[in-house]
Structure 1
Amino acid sequence: MKLNPYVAGVRSELLTVAEAGGDAALELAERLTSPLEAAIRLTLLQALSAAAEEITAEMAPGSVEVRLRGADPEFVVAVPASAAPGPAAETAAEERSASVSQVQLPSAPEDGDGQMVRINLRLPAHLKSRVEEAADALGFSVNTWLVRAAAAALENEARRPRQPRNTMTTGQSLSGWAR
């Protein structure tokens, strides 16, 4: 997607508005348009990224990403494979990730703050490979798979009744906290 026509459109509109203010305003607008170009591009990229996040939330298990190559962004759309895998692969995928594939994406909290946030996650290489394989087997993006895995873990934790910890076990070992 080329951003140049949009940046040029904003520049043209700014100059048109400045003409109404006279020669001094037009001269000032012409001097400001070059420095504003970077800010306009950044704002457009932020708007495209926010739109991609909203679309991804709506089309789960598919996803939309905005990638910047050079000066222009491009969209990458990942949709689940429509062809069903063979029975053995399907069974193995269900066994590995049944709770992940069945969990619904978490809804926005009641306070209305359902904004998406970005985090950095560091994984050992062997775990990253397994996550990618599991996500691919279900036709999910890695991001969607991780969101669903976190939601499933929290859902399972909420369902599990809290049991008091025994501070003593049989034999000579102790468990618990000490000061």
Structure 2
Amino acid sequence: MDINAYSARLHRDLYAAGQLGGEDALVLAEKMANALDPSIRLVLLDAMVEAAGEITEGLAPGAVEVRLAGREVQFAVTPPAVAEPIQPGTAAPAVQPPAATGSEESEADGGTARLSLRLPERLKGRVEEAAGAAGLSVNAWLVRSIAQVLEAPTVQPPPAAPSTPSPTVKIVTGQHITGWVR
């Protein structure tokens, strides 16, 4: 989607409004239009991202993502998986419950929060592959994966290896010896 058309329309509207006030107002309107252009683009992009989020909630487990490529906005739609028709005489496949998406957790927790995440390129590729294999958007896959990790029963990590062993040996009375030996 080319947002230049929307920005240009606002420029024209400001220019037309400036013509009503004379030459000084016209110059001021043109300067304002040029100064506000980056802000206009960000506001339009924010509105598109918010709209995509609302559409994604309605599409779950599908998703709509907004991507910025240069100065152009692109939409990536991941449709919900469609069940294949069952052939007569074959058993119906076992139905799996739908994977939890961010919308269920967000309703229970009081909304969603925006988070910026930077991944190494090699890890980003693996995340995109895993999300694609699961039929989810990257965002939905990350939300599901994080929820699974956080809701899993806590497992105690293995005991840490002792730091550099002490070269001393402590002798205890009796026949027991304790300490580190090299």
- Shorter chain as denominator, the TM-score bin is 0.5 to 0.7
Which residue matches 1:76?
A: 76
How many residues are treated as equivalent by the alignment? 147
1:149 aligned onto 2:149: no
1:107 aligned onto 2:95: no
1:10 CA displacement: 0.8
Tell me: higher relative CO, structure 1 or 2? Use CA pairs within 8 A at least 6 residues apart. Answer: 1
Which residue matches 1:19?
A: 19
Which residue matches 2:66?
A: 66
Contact kept? 1:7, 1:41, Cα under 8 Å: yes
Which residue matches 1:117?
A: 114
Contact kept? 1:103, 1:152, Cα under 8 Å: no
Q: Which one has a larger percent helix, Structure 1 or Structure 2?
A: 1
Which residue matches 1:51?
A: 51
Task: For 2:56 and 2:145, locate their aligned partners in 1 and report how far apart those are by CA, in whole Å.
Answer: 16
The TM-score with structure 2 as length reference comes to 0.61
Structure 2 gaps of 5+ residues are 85-92, 155-182
Which residue matches 2:42?
A: 42
1:51 CA displacement: 1.6
For the aligned residue pairs, the C-alpha RMSD in angstroms reads 3.7
Structure 1 gaps of 5+ residues are 85-89, 161-179
Percent identical residues: 40
SS of match in other structure, 2:113: coil
The TM-score with structure 1 as length reference comes to 0.62
